[in-house]
């Protein structure tokens, strides 16, 4: 998938690549954004083959999910998980409530909990025991 996106960036840099939630990016802009993130990670000391997780928030559909997975693959990031868009969150935030308190059983809250648990389990396995 990542190779196909890179090839598309070269073929049609000015074509629309992402149009989601009021954000529109051409393939050239998407590629530039991806490169900025990779550069930022390198400046923070992340080297090739270091384990880095990418958590995507407010995924609206399978296309969003595939785009994030391709981005992660292209830049050697491990896709940590995706949190689905939840239309109820803005209402909770405007009411001054934390979404966790307002909607504890929402798909987004469940996804955050599952991702956190999975990464905690992974981290715990790496801790040496005496």
**What are the C-alpha distances in Å from 31 to residues 10, 13, 116, 123?**
10, 9, 29, 31
Which two three-digit tokens encode residue 120?
Answer: 């905690």
The pLDDT of residue 60 is 79
18 DSSP β-pair partners: 25
pLDDT at 15: 92
Cα dihedral 58→62→64→67 (10° resolution):
140
pLDDT tens digit at each of 130 positions of the chain:
567 778 888 899 999 988 766 778 888 988 888 788 778 878 888 877 676 666 677 787 888 888 888 888 877 777 777 887 777 777 776 777 766 666 777 777 788 778 777 777 765 555 444 3
- pTM metric for this prediction: 0.46
pLDDT of residue 13: 92
d(CA 58, CA 67): 13
């Amino acid at each position: 998938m990542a190779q196909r996106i890179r090839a598309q960036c070269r073929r049609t840099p000015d074509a629309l690549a992402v149009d989601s939630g009021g954000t529109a990016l051409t393939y050239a802009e998407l590629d530039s954004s991806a490169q900025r993130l990779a550069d930022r990670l390198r400046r923070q000391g992340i080297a090739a083959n270091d384990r880095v997780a990418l958590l995507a928030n407010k995924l609206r559909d399978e296309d969003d999910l595939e785009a994030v997975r391709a981005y992660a693959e292209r830049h050697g990031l491990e896709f940590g998980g995706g949190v689905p868009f939840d239309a109820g969150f803005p209402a909770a935030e405007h009411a001054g409530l934390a979404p966790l308190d307002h909607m504890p059983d929402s798909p987004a809250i469940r996804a955050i909990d599952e991702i956190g648990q999975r990464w905690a389990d992974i981290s715990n396995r790496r801790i040496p025991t005496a």
